[in-house]
Amino acid sequence: MEILWTLIVLCMIVAILGRFVLRRGGGGIRLSRPGAPDAADPAAYGFVRQEELDVRLPGPDQDLLDVLAVVQGTQDWKPAQRLLAATPKEGERRWQRVQAFAGAASLELARRPGVGGAWLRNWRSEAPKDAGAAQVHAEFLVQQAWRSSSVGRDDFRIILEEARTVCGEAALLAPGDPVPSIVELAVARGLAYPRPEFDQLWAKVLDRAPQHMGAHVAALHYHCEKWHGSRAQADEFATASAARAPRGALLSALPLFAVYEHMPDIVLVSDFHRTAVVSRAMEGALHAVHHARPDDPALPLVRHLLVSFLVPAQRWAEAMEQFVALDGHVGAVPWTVSEDPAAQYALHRALAVAGYESNGGSPATLGRL
């Protein structure tokens, strides 16, 4: 996917330069020397410098960051336990925090093999009946399995089988909590659950969290062509989920995730991002974003993917609106599939600023969008 995004960005730059002949008149872009007053400068919009972008999270969660700093600095798991215990099990926030804690432990272990992530091991051993510990452990194993997938299939399956067992333990410790079943969706994809078994698992998720965006994205992966389904199956799943979404639910954006999952490695159609299928998916995502609760924890996930389509489609004003809402955090698809998420995000942001200003936009007009 990194090759895909690099090619898309290069094609965008060539298309912009060729179409607008390096001038501002007629909606084109005028290239100014660095530092010139009319140069397209993201900093003029109050955007965060590239080196200061936070690659850990898709959006703000200061409580989580504060706790992570304490846990990783002291190796004391108790603050993590208290934060998860105080996080409602029904919403997206708990799932995101479980992922973040697991990811932190996984990165620690990768950096210091055999030593890193000791706080999670201690948490599990010292509080074996704690539901939060079991959930983080299960997600940690899933992330470890995917990290090992390039090493050998046997290790991959062994770790996922262990994750499956821990998911079962976590479910017993917290009856009715959707998180263990959501974690298991990734296990189902990796272990190739038969369709009836997957459907039973998905039914548990829907019963406990019918509008959970993170769960739907995880389930979509199972239906995709590169795993156990087809493009038609993934599109059907995404469309059906969006159709039954109530007003204010982010599920209207799910078809855009389906488009993303099935994008070709090389986009040969020059107006791909303006085709009917992509345009409909973007409109659904825009509808979801405009009607969602401003504090919905899953909203940044949708905004990140949406803006990565709006920029190539040259929908500059709409892209800028999303960047204003997002800026500061880049820990989400599509940036995280790159070796340098901050650089990919910053490049798209710079293109959006240039396109916006070439069509008469400015920092003063942005606030009126």
The string of pLDDT tens digits covering residues 138-153 is 999 999 998 876 656 7
3-class DSSP assignment, residue 137: helix
The per-residue pLDDT of the chain, averaged, comes to 87
Last residue within a domain, chosen from 162, 186, 209 = 209
Decide if 234 is inside a domain.
no
* Higher pLDDT pick, 30 / 122: 122
Q: 262 with 234: CB under 8 angstroms? A: yes
What's the CATH number where 138 sits? 1.25.40
User: What pLDDT is recorded for position 153?
Assistant: 73
Q: Where are the alpha helices (DSSP H) in 42-91?
A: 62-74, 78-85
User: What pLDDT is recorded for position 317?
Assistant: 96
Domain that holds residue 151: 62-209
Per-residue pLDDT reduced to its tens digit, 289-321: 999 999 999 999 999 999 999 999 999 999 999
Same domain flag for 155 and 52 = no
User: For 349-362, what is the mean pLDDT?
Assistant: 94
Amino acid at 231: R
Decide if 23 is inside a domain.
yes
3-class DSSP assignment, residue 22: coil
User: For 94-123, what is the mean pLDDT?
Assistant: 95
Share of the chain above pLDDT 90, in %: 73
Same domain flag for 9 and 116 = no
Helical axes 299-310 vs 276-291, angle rounded to 10°: 140
Decide if 284 is inside a domain.
no
**Distance between CA 369 and CA 357 in Å, rounded?**
14
**Distance between CA 365 and CA 84 in Å, rounded?**
41
User: For 275-300, what is the mean pLDDT?
Assistant: 94
Same domain flag for 141 and 20 = no
User: What pLDDT is recorded for position 366?
Assistant: 83
Last residue within a domain, chosen from 209, 238, 257 = 209
State pTM to two decimals.
0.87
The four Cα atoms 120, 125, 129, 133 give a dihedral, to 10 degrees, of 10
Least confident stretch, 32-36, 193-197, 257-261, 319-323:
32-36
User: Tell me, what DSSP letter sits at residue 105?
Assistant: H
Structure tokens at 13: 């730059």
User: What pLDDT is recorded for position 291?
Assistant: 93
In this prediction, residue 3 has a pLDDT band, given cuts at 50, 70 and 90, of very low
User: What pLDDT is recorded for position 266?
Assistant: 57
Per-residue pLDDT reduced to its tens digit, 157-178: 999 999 999 999 999 999 999 9
User: For 229-240, what is the mean pLDDT?
Assistant: 93
Same domain flag for 102 and 167 = yes
Per-residue pLDDT reduced to its tens digit, 124-139: 999 999 999 999 999 9
Residue whose tokens read 């920029």: 311
The total of structural domains in the chain comes to: 2
